[in-house]
Amino acid sequence: MSVARTRSVALLGLAGSIVEVEADLSSQLPGFVIIGLPDAALGEARERVRSAAMNAGCPLPNRKLTVNLSPAALPKHGSGFDLAIALACLAASGDVSVDSVDRVVHLGELGLDGRLRPIHGILPAVLAAARAGHDTVMVPEANAVEAALVPGIEVIGVASLLEAAIRHGGRFDECPVEPVPALVQSDGTLPAAVGDLADVAGNHEAVEALLTAAAGGHHLFMLGPPGAGKTMLASRLPGILPDLDADAALEVASIRSLSGLPVGGDLSQRPPFEAPHHTASAAAMVGGGSRVIRPGAAVRATHGVLFLDEAPEFPSSVLDVLRQPLESGTIAIHRANAVASFPARFQLVIAANPCPCGNAGVKDSSCTCTPVMRRRYLARISGPLLDRIDLQVPVPRITAAALRVADERPGLSSAEARTRVVEARAVALERLRGTPWRTNAEMPGPWLRGAGRLHPGGRATAALDRALERGGITMRGYDRVLKTAWTIADLDGATAPGAGHVGRALLFRKGITQ
């Protein structure tokens, strides 16, 4: 009796755990058993591995094979364990080097012809292997470029089980095969940056709110009639955000890999932009799945922008699932046997019409919506959700006179706006040095008013204090106005917010309701 072992990775959400794949070869009646809490797809690896090994030219012995996936209590999903199971079995039979397969983490699905097929989530799996202290992984050829994005790890790309066995010391006749091509899938979302901010004519208050949102990482709500430019403004926000740092870019790429979206050979430094349709379900928004838990739109927007156009058309239950992620920056999806956690620190931008027909408040419009209809329509965006949105601005339609002025004097360009945003964020980062936060929006209220000593106090917050006393804002709103005031002060180059900055932040907060 001989035992051989290698390793693979089990993904649960974006986190990966190293799984030890042990193969035992005994002199009992021929059979193939996989134990260790496999799901249905992994249980079918018995037939895939045996047929692939036979057709690849490195058959398994016709004896009893027992494969154990340890730790046994950890749920394991999918077909990405095929390569590790096959090589552990070949090592147990003495056809490949036991020591060689023991040093390498193996990932990949086998086809019946012995070729290796690419799998989703290769980037977070390789990242988990690197964090666990492993320095070599073997992956399908189609996944090799993506796996190489993880620094400090050697990636071995193979096209077939036969090639993998030969690389581990197997004495088989070489038989070159055509690698399975990479999975190509369009994400169907808007590009990360659409057009230039200078294309926006007029609406200077909305542009200023957009600049403030980018500089401080704040959430934004725009209310206005159709054609006022709400979608245009939202699509310009990713273009004025700073580039992602290396860790954030790797996390964004890992989420795309887990979602089955193309990653490419280079890490993108630009923030993602997600704009789900209003027919999206709660699972499509935050993630889910009965077998394999996949990330939703809010997770894919991590370190970027989640834009909900026509927000009142979304079911209220779908909008309200965002309330917790807006506070915690994470999404935990609970299932009977597992809990998958995903990052969800994004900037929320929502846009809405003032009424069902969209023409309320428009001069010479034919709006027939009653006040009750308008209230019911906007009430689909719940008060607790709106309370978490720092900037709430009206976006009116531009007049002909304002359009002529805009044509003569173009507004702020995306490049100029991004420069101002980068400078303001650098000031905030210096102020927050030594803390886990990087932007003004991330500062917790108690720290802001207490240990952080960032409460301006005195005359600067007199209007804000009165609004809190009258019940015009909540305590959460009070803290968010202070954060916005710091962002406005950073954009203005001030050392601390004054009464004007706090007043402007309060106007942004209550610009729609006043």
Instruction: Kindly state whether residues 114 and 35 are assigned to the same domain.
Output: yes
Q: What is the pLDDT of residues 155-213, one digit of tens each?
A: 999 999 999 999 999 988 888 888 888 765 444 343 445 678 888 877 888 999 999 99
Integer angstrom CA distances of residue 114 from 75, 155, 179: 26, 20, 11
Is the pLDDT confidence value at 264 over 80?
no
158 and 201 within one domain: no
Burial class (CB within 10 angstroms; exposed 0-12, middle 13-18, buried 19+) of 505: buried
- Joined tokens for residue 65: 């094979």
Q: Are residues 143 and 219 in the same domain?
A: no
Amino acid identity of residue 406, one-letter, is A
Is omega for the bond preceding 75 within 30 degrees of 0, making it cis? no
pLDDT at 407 (0 to 100): 62
Q: How many domains does the chain have?
A: 2
In this predicted structure, what is the pLDDT of residue 406? 60
Give the pLDDT confidence score for residue 514 in this predicted structure. 41
Taking only the tens place, the pLDDT of each residue in 124-138 is: 999 999 999 999 999
| Nearest residue to 397 (alpha-carbon basis) of 363, 370, 368 | 363
What is the pLDDT of the chain when averaged over all its residues?
Answer: 89
The fraction of the chain above a pLDDT of 90, given in percent, is 66
∠ CA 63-67-72, nearest 5°, is 155
pLDDT at position 513 is: 54
Residue 248 lies in a domain: yes
Give Cα 325 to chain centroid, integer Å.
12
Q: Is the pLDDT of residue 260 over 80?
A: yes
| Distances in whole angstroms, Cα of residue 41 to Cα of each of 4, 83, 181 | 23, 14, 22
What is the DSSP pairing of strand 31-35 with strand 64-70?
parallel
Please count the other Cβ atoms lying within 10 Å of the Cβ belonging to residue 446. Answer: 10
Helical H segments across 63-155, by residue range: 82-92, 98-102, 122-131, 144-147
Q: What is the pTM of this model?
A: 0.90
Of 26-35, 167-176, 188-197, 315-324, the poorest mean pLDDT is in 188-197
Summarize pLDDT for 480-509 with one digit per residue, the tens.
Answer: 999 999 999 999 999 989 999 999 999 998
pLDDT confidence of residue 186: 41
Domain boundary among 167, 184, 210: 167
Query: For residue 295, is it within any domain?
Result: yes
For the cut 60, the answer to whether the pLDDT of residue 254 exceeds it is: yes
Mean pLDDT of 363-368: 77
- Say if 19 falls within a structural domain: yes
Rounded to whole angstroms, what are the CA distances from 24 to 4, 171, 335, 392? 7, 21, 32, 64
- Among 24-28, 62-66, 192-196, the range scoring the smallest mean pLDDT is 192-196
Q: What is the mean pLDDT of residues 392-406?
A: 78
76-80, 375-379, 391-395: the lowest-pLDDT one? 76-80
The per-residue pLDDT for 30 is 86
Residue 250 CB coordination number (10 Å): 18
Cβ density class 290-304: b for 16+ within 10 Å, e for less: eebbbbbbbbbbbbb
Q: Do both 72 and 203 map to the same domain?
A: no
Residue 445 lies in a domain: no
Q: Is residue 514 part of a domain?
A: no
Domain boundary among 367, 390, 409: 409
Res. 409 pLDDT band, cuts 50 70 90: low
CA distances, 325 to each of 106, 231, 273, 393, 410 (Å):
34, 23, 17, 23, 38
Same domain, 257 and 144: no
HSE toward the beta carbon, residue 39, CA cutoff 13 A: 15
CA dihedral 321, 322, 326, 329 (to 10 degrees): 70
Mean pLDDT of the 301-316 span: 95
First and final C-alpha spacing in the chain:
80
What's the pLDDT tens digit per position in 428-480?
A: 999 999 999 999 999 998 888 887 678 887 778 888 888 888 888 899 999 99
Q: What strand order describes the sheet that includes 305-308?
A: 273-274, 305-308, 347-352, 220-223, 391-394
Domain boundary among 362, 382, 409: 409
Question: Do 298 and 161 fall into the same domain?
Answer: no
Residue whose C-alpha is closest to residue 306's, from 208, 219, 183, 182: 219
Question: Residue 416: what residue type?
Answer: E
What are the residues whose beta carbons fall under 8 Å from the beta carbon of 460, sequence distance 6 or more?
A: 496, 497, 498, 499, 501, 502
- Are residues 237 and 123 part of one domain? no
Residues 98 and 157 in one domain: yes
Q: What is the DSSP secondary structure assignment for residue 443, as one 8-state letter? A: S
Confidence of residue 338 (pLDDT cuts 50, 70, 90): confident
Quote the pLDDT of residue 212.
96
Instruction: State whether 152 and 223 are in the same domain.
Output: no
Residue matched to tokens 């320095």? 135
Identify whether 414 is part of a domain: no
Range of the domain at 28: 2-167
Which DSSP string corresponds to 457-490?
A: -GGGGHHHHHHHHTTSS-HHHHHHHHHHHHHHHH
Which amino acid is located at 267 in the chain? Answer: L
Q: 155 with 244, same domain?
A: no
User: Is the domain of 346 the same as that of 234?
Assistant: yes
Residue 242 sits in a domain whose CATH number is: 3.40.50.300
Q: Tell me what pLDDT residue 408 has.
A: 61
Residue 1 scores a pLDDT above 60: no
Give the angle 369-372-373 at the CA atoms, nearest 5°: 45
Asked if 196 and 236 count as a contact pair (C-beta separation under 8 A), the reply is yes
**CATH number of the domain that residue 161 is part of:** 3.30.230.10
Would 487 be classed as within a structural domain? Answer: no
CB 304, CB 189: distance < 8 Å: no
Nearest to 425 by CA among 368, 334, 487, 512: 487
Nearest to 258 by CA among 420, 53, 100, 78: 78
Residue 13 and residue 125 in one domain: yes
Contact 16, 92 (CB under 8 A): no
pLDDT beyond 90 at 321: yes
Which residue would you say has higher pLDDT here, 112 or 459? 112
Residue 451 lies in a domain: no
